[in-house]
Structure 1
Amino acid sequence: MSPEELVTAFCAEWKMGSAETIASYFSEDAVYHNIPMAPIVGRTEILNFLEGFISAFGGIEFTIHHQSANGATVLNERTDRFDLGDKHVVLPVMGIFEIMDSKIVAWRDYFDLAPINKLLAVPPGPETRGHSREVE
């Protein structure tokens, strides 16, 4: 599987996959960094994060709009949809994936955290202010 195919499969996994299945795409020493937050290092820590994150939502779906690969580096422009009860947020995201030996060794996502915090009713702070789509 090419790096681009791996990332496409990984993004599709979020719709129905478990935290364990999603975490299996990462190398043991992978780094997952949602840029508004601190990086998460290691598959075990990534799994711990995913278990809590996925359980917070009724549904998660990544839609890839554009994707390009240069060797083992894959960039994609996506919208990620998060459902919570009768509310949802559609979040514009730019993702960068580094692949080695058919595993994700680094994943960085750039996005505005404010819509997720609003959906989860987290009070706004300096790190949550910005421009993006509102909760629908």
Structure 2
Amino acid sequence: MKIAGALLALALLAGSAQAQDTDASRLATAREMIHAWKVADWRKVADLFAEDGSLKSMMLPPVNGREAIYARIAALGKGAPDGVTLDVAHIGVIDGLVFMERTDRFTYNGHPGAVPVVGVLDIRGGKVKEWREYYDRASLEKALKGEP
């Protein structure tokens, strides 16, 4: 009888974890991420990733694992101490993935810049399992230097 009770409890826990993966909960996590970037809370940005999460900027090698993601973002954040505004034009969930079309606006090492980006986030259990970023690398490099 105790084994049956334990199995039932595990099944209920598994069901509640799946239940929280709704479109609304995924969007809420994405909005938390947007806010963390805006206020330069690099620790929060990383903590919104799963422990084994992955950040894939398509023009660079992927960064895997929460602490490696934190190291990458915190290093970039040193140049943008006032944060990065993810100016979202469109956001929605398609097939369980959050899609964001946006313009990232920032001041990096004293140079104001902006770059158009599309991000695709796989959010499970309130954490980002994988974040794929699509942008033009040359445009980003110019923007980081404050070039038009």
TM-score by length of 1: 0.82
- Structure possessing the higher radius of gyration over alpha carbons: 2
CA distance in 1, matches of 2:46, 2:109: 25
Q: Which has the higher helix share?
A: 2
Runs of 4+ in 1 over 6 A off after TM superposition: none
Deviation at 1:27, TM superposition (A): 0.3
Which residue of 2 is the match for residue 72 of structure 1?
96
* Greater mean deviation of Cα atoms: 23-32 or 108-117: 108-117
* Greater mean deviation of Cα atoms: 4-13 or 38-47: 4-13
Which residue of 2 is the match for residue 135 of structure 1?
147
The reply to whether residue 104 of structure 1 matches residue 128 of structure 2 is yes
Could you say what the CA RMSD is over the residues aligned between the two structures, in angstroms? 1.9
Which residue of 2 is the match for residue 29 of structure 1?
52
Instruction: Report if the CA contact (8 A) 2:40-2:77 is conserved.
Output: no
Name structure 1 gaps, 5 residues minimum. 122-133
> Residues 52-111 of structure 1, C-alpha deviation per residue, up to 9 Å, x if partnerless?
011122431111110110353100100001203552111100000001111000000100
Q: How many residues align?
A: 124
Name structure 2 gaps, 5 residues minimum. 1-23
Instruction: Report if the CA contact (8 A) 2:59-2:137 is conserved.
Output: yes
Cα separation, partners in 2 of 1:31 and 1:85, compared to 1, 3 Å: closer
TM-score by length of 2: 0.76
Alignment of structure 1 residues 1-136 onto 2, 5 Å = 2-59=25-82, 60-70=84-94, 72-84=96-108, 86-121=110-145, 135-136=147-148
Instruction: Report if the CA contact (8 A) 2:122-2:130 is conserved.
Output: yes
Percent identity among equivalent residues? 25
> Residues 31-68 of structure 1, C-alpha deviation per residue, up to 9 Å, x if partnerless?
10011111000001001101101112243111111011
CA distance in 1, matches of 2:31, 2:76: 20
